[in-house]
Amino acid sequence: MTCIVGIAESGHVWIAADSCVSTGDVESETASPKVATRDGWAWGMAGAWRAVVAVRDYLAVPDQGDAGELYARVCALLKGMGAEDDDWEMVAGSEGRLYVLSEACSWHAVPVWQSGRRRKRSPRSWAACGSGGAYATGCLDAIADSDLTPEQRYTEALTVASRRVSGVRPPWRHVET
């Protein structure tokens, strides 16, 4: 149970996540983040906790912007630890671009949109994944043209997801590049 939110704007990337983990039928809060940064990449991962920890702590990231290679490295890392069949999704960003990667369907770049009002229009992209991802994405779509900061937008998206999915709960943690 997780919600990962990514926002890219003005050459920067913000990735935020909730703090809920599930063990069997028990949900609890973890002090360990589901987000990380390394060498110009930021990412958050939803899925089996062992996969989240492995990718957060041991992923050797490729050159910035090479999402295909990032996907290959995540898959190789998880296969090497015997977790390749675990369901997982992640939102990753580098050089102001967002990507969604998943065990089920490889990876794709998130489209960039012109959002905002009048002089404050800027290229933005956003994505969310995990059990609260659909609610967070809907929220991000609804507030795309607002004057909110990226931090305010991901906070709002995670809050909306937490109201709809019991496995999404604060505190929110984020990283940025």
Query: What 8-state DSSP symbol labels residue 110?
Result: P
- Quick: pLDDT tens for 101-111: 998 778 999 99
| Range name among 115-119, 138-142, 152-156, 162-166 with the lowest pLDDT average | 115-119
DSSP 53-70: HHHHHH----STT-HHHH
Look over the chain and give the mean of its residue pLDDT values, rounded to a whole number.
90
DSSP 8-state symbol, 16: E
CA angle at 167 for the pair 89 and 20, rounded to the nearest 5°: 80
Average pLDDT over residues 31-55: 91
pLDDT of residue 133: 96
Q: Residue 27: what pLDDT?
A: 77
Long-range pairs for 118-125: beta carbons < 8 A, 24 or more residues apart: 120/147, 122/9, 122/10, 123/9, 124/7, 124/8, 124/9, 125/7, 125/8, 125/9, 125/97, 125/98
Quickly state the pLDDT bin for 83 (edges 50, 70, 90).
Answer: confident
Between 107 and 114, name the one with better pLDDT: 107
Residue 117 binned pLDDT confidence (cut-offs 50, 70, 90): low
- Which residues are 38's β-sheet partners? 41
Kindly list the structural domains of the chain, giving each domain's residue range(s) and its CATH number in brackets, ordered by start.
Answer: 3-166 (3.60.20.10)
pLDDT score recorded for residue 115: 74
pLDDT at residue 85 is higher than 70: no
Antiparallel, parallel or unpaired: β 122-130 and 113-115 = antiparallel
- pLDDT higher at 155 or 120: 155
For the chain, percent of residues with pLDDT exceeding 90: 66
pTM beyond 0.75, yes or no: yes
Q: Using the 8-state DSSP alphabet, how is residue 80 labeled? A: H
Q: What is the mean pLDDT of residues 104-131?
A: 84
Please, which pLDDT band fits residue 164 given cuts at 50, 70 and 90? very high
